[in-house]
Amino acid sequence: MRSDGTGIRPLRRGGVAAGVSSGLSWSPNGRRIAFSDGLRMWVMDADGTHVVCVDRTEGGRLGPGPPAWSPTGRWIAYSASRRNPATNTWERDIWVVRTDGSEVRRLLKTPHVDYDVAWSPSGRRVAVTEVWTGELYVMNVDGTHPRALTPGFAALSPEWSPDGRTIVVEHALPNTSAMEWEIWVVDVRNGRRHRLSPVSYEPARHPTWSPDGRMVAFVRGDSGWGDGINVGARPRSAAEIYVMNADGTGLTRLTRNRLGEAFPAWQPTGAPRDPGGG
C-alpha cells in the first residue's frame, strides 16, 4: 500500500505463504521481497511474481525467523535451529543464504539462543535478540566483540535506523501484562532508550523505520485476533498499521480493514547508503 494507507493490494494469496508468517524484508533496491512462512525462506519480485524458495528445511535446519536483507543485497540473514549431533540438542544460530539460494551457511554462532536479527546499514555489525530474555546484543558479523546493549530489558523485533545510530524495538512496559508492548528506541553507543509510542492498553508491535529515518511504522492491536476479543475486562481490536514521526509525534492510523495486520515494511527508495555509523 502507499505510505498514506491507500492503494492496498495483495501480492500473494495462500500457496507459498500459507504457513505462519515470520516477517518480511525488502531488498535494498526495493525490487524484491524476502519472507519466511515459518518453514522456508522465499524471495519474490516486488509485484508478487517470480516466487523462489531459497532455503528449505533440508539439512536439519528448522523454523527460519524473520529475514534481514544485507545492505549489499547479496545475502539474507535469519535465525534457524539445527540439531547438534554431538549433544543431540537443537541449537539456534544466525544463518545467511544467497538471494538465489545457491549457498547457505552459518553467519555466527553465539552462546545465546538467538531469534531476531538486524543488519547494520554499513553491513559490519548485526543486532541479535536473545530469545529467552529478550535482551539485545550487538556484535560484528563474524560474531566477535558481542555487547549486551539492553541487559535486563526485553527488546524484540530490532531494526537499525538508516543512520546507524539507533535501533527501534518493541518492549513490554514494566509491571504490566505480556500484552502491553510499546515501541522504544535504543542508542547503539550507550544503550540509552526512550519510548516512542503513546501508552495504550493495546500492544504496539513490529516497528520499522522509513528509508529516510524520519518515521516509524508499527502495528497496534492484536495481530490475528478479530475485533471485540476480550482480554481481561477490556476489549481489544484487530491489529492495524500506524505510522509516527521518529520522535513519537504525529501518530496516524493507515489501515482499517479489521484483518489483523503484522510485520509492516517500507519499500526502499534507492540504493543503500553506507553512513559508517553501524
Alpha carbons 143 and 102: distance in angstroms, whole number: 23
Q: What is the pLDDT of residue 168?
A: 96
Grid cell of 184 as nine digits: 522504544
CATH number assigned to the domain covering 16-171+181-190+203-208: 2.120.10.30
152: β partners: none
Would you report the helix, strand and coil content of the chain in percent, each value rounded to 5? 0, 40, 55
CA dist 88 and 65 (Å) reads: 22
Ramachandran assignment for 276, one of left (phi > 0), alpha (psi -120 to 50 degrees), beta (any other) = left
Is the whole model's pTM more than 0.85, yes or no?
no
Cell numbers representing residue 232 in the block: 481481561
pLDDT of residue 22: 67
With cell 530489558, the residue in question is 153
Q: By the 8 A CB rule, do 164 and 276 touch? A: yes
162 vs 206: CA distance, rounded Å: 17
Every domain of the chain and the residues it spans: 16-171+181-190+203-208
Determine the 3-state secondary structure of 260 from DSSP: coil
Per-residue pLDDT tens listing for the chain (278 residues): 888 888 888 887 665 444 445 688 999 999 999 988 777 889 999 988 999 988 865 555 667 788 999 999 999 998 888 777 787 777 788 888 999 888 888 888 777 776 789 999 999 999 998 877 888 999 998 888 989 999 988 898 999 999 999 999 998 766 555 557 899 999 999 999 999 988 776 888 899 999 999 999 999 886 543 333 334 444 456 789 999 999 999 999 998 876 678 888 999 875 444 333 44
